[in-house]
Amino acid sequence: MNKRYLGALTLVPLLVLLFLGGWFLRITTLFLALRALYEYFHVLSVKGHNPSRVLGYLALLGYFALLFTREDAAAHLGIFVAVLTAVAFVLMVFRQDTSIQDAALTVTGFLYAGGFFGFLILLENRPSGIIFVYSVFVISWVCDTLAYYTGRLFGRHKLIERVSPKKTVEGAIGGLLGGALGAYLLGMATTAQTGIAPGHFLVMGFFGAMFGQIGDLAASAIKRYAGEKDYPKLIPGHGGVLDRFDSILFVGVLVYAYVTYIL
């Protein structure tokens, strides 16, 4: 527990930079994305896979260069994925140690670490965008907190034991309600600034909390597949970036989709 408190303190500067927005958000997000990709590649290499690290990092840096310089970077994500897939297949053909699984894992790693983290920058580019960035963290944190305490107090039925033995159905329901409530309160506090009805934040919070919990389980599933308990440690008591930001990655996708196609 002492390590977790220490780790929480080390997270404070990162969070301050993210919440300041602008170039502070962009550079911090790039650092987190690069670290997340490293952790992803590391656990898969332990399992015996050989994704192309160089190709993955180059694709991530290229995409973030677009995120830093163009507001329509999302329009180019599909092209990045197509070119990355083609180059990965070229490596599969000409390198004996690269299999179809390795090619697929390279592309998936770019999307998971680079594409998903990139949605924080894309969100900030929207009108009142920094509020939507805040909403991603509020939904994720309140969901995680309520899920933990609801599971501790009322948890009886395992959620998906083979992936995460401690998570319960009751905890997941508490997390859904918590994420919705946290987002709703944020919507009420900022409606004069954004002009968006708090009800939209309520819906966004509910489905964001659902996606966030799936993101948590997905990160755990990758670790269990690789036979690892944690991703390479970076934050004392919290593991790596993918241990701490796993739900935020998926919440960011949902919030961006809601803002883009509903709002």
How confident is the model over 208-240, as pLDDT tens digits? 999 999 999 999 999 999 888 888 887 666 678
Amino acid 234: pLDDT: 77
The answer to whether 24 and 18 are in contact (CB under 8 A) is yes
Handedness of CA 55, 63, 214, 85 (dihedral sign): negative
Amino acid 7: pLDDT: 58
Residue with tokens 């993210």: 18
User: How many domains, in total, are found in the chain?
Assistant: 1
Amino acid 71: pLDDT: 82
Which portions of the chain are predicted below pLDDT 70?
1-8, 10, 235-238
What's the CA angle centered on 179, arms 64 and 130, to 5 degrees?
A: 40
Amino acid 2: pLDDT: 56
Q: Give the total residue count for the chain.
A: 263
Residue with tokens 């690892």: 228
* Owning domain of residue 153: 2-261
